[in-house]
Structure 1
Amino acid sequence: MMITHYIFDFNGTMIFDSELQRQAWSKMLAQTFNHQMTETDFQTQIAGRNNSYTFDHYANQPLSADETADLSARKEQIYRDICLQRPDKFRLVPGLTEFLDQVKTAGYSMNIATASEKVNVDFFFDQLGLNRWFDHDKVVINDGGLPGKPAPDMFLAALANVQGDPTTTAIFEDSPSGIQAANQAQVAKTVLVVEPNAPTPMMPKTSHIDDQISTYQGLFARLSQ
């Protein structure tokens, strides 16, 4: 089936920043909760989750909105500082620029649904020039208005914002919770994006993945047939 709608997670899908995220979260959890982050922690309690979920988990209790906002602001500032120090990592995934140009030229719709908060999405648009392909106002972010992944709500909202149809949609994800959300959205194709040399995502056995990529080169021809 021809794919005419393309919905992306951001972190780990459009940029390979898992090393930067791990560094930021490790520092934050050590400083705030005296917790030494493990790879299992990152895969199950952090990757693809919104910050509120993660902070509640390590605090062992629900935090107030103000407490969560303060912790999130601190963690994301750590992350953005690391990004600016690592231009070798803070860049679009290989082949993605050409892929997005091809989708745009074909007249197909694109959007982003990310667990990142507004300040980070603004940062990404500014630093990476995402407005070349995406309408910032239509991007679905972690603002507390929708259930986070693995619920499908963020993807469905991102798709609705560009008048998309799940039966002709591909979702691109890198995390276990994101793949589960994509599956629940019941789209035509679920694409797992895997960073080379990074730990393999620990996917639930029930996960359905149609394609796995580490580069977007040559992908448009396969999906648009």
Structure 2
Amino acid sequence: MTDPPLDGPADAPEPYRTVAGPGRTRFEVRGSEFLGLVRPVERRERAEAFVASVRAEHPDATHVVPAYRVRVREAPLREYAADDGEPSGSAGDPALNVLAQRDLENVAGAVVRHYGGTNLGVGGLARAYGRAVADAVEDAGVVTERPHVTVRATVDYDDSGTVRSTIEGSGVEFDAEYAERVQFTVRVPVAERAALLDALRSATSGRVEIDEP
């Protein structure tokens, strides 16, 4: 599949289904051990970082098969899967199909296989990889989320109390870092982003510096 040129949170505010948190499962098929893992992600980079971390944690794995579906700016959805050395179409596609059939977005999965000495055939592999993702999703649970973006608001200390009160009043998640200046990292629903930024600029008479990474 072809990557879009840029990546980031979706612009559309429609709710979507995703996993509620990390999920995992482990089982054996004819001597081969399969470990299925899923987790929610909001960017392609985080999906790829998750897969990389699974590879690093299982350096002796025979295969680590990734599958993820993430919203991006240039397209409604970015989908990716790979067979990682398994026969073509026997691993990545079955894993990705589980996420698609359940209409899950902003979710990354990885299936770790330790070969047990017996070939499973294309059909057996497809069933095993699909089961690994399906069971991990069941373990995680499914929720409905609204698309979010991350915004950083930086101000001098004189404005920090006003900005903090404005953010707290909006009911969104945020962290504050107090250094030479004060930086607030805010996770805000896409649909509420414009109103929050307007409120911050109004509260500081335009002195707040806004960065949207």
- In the superposition, the TM-score normalised over structure 1's length comes to 0.27
Higher relative strand content: 2
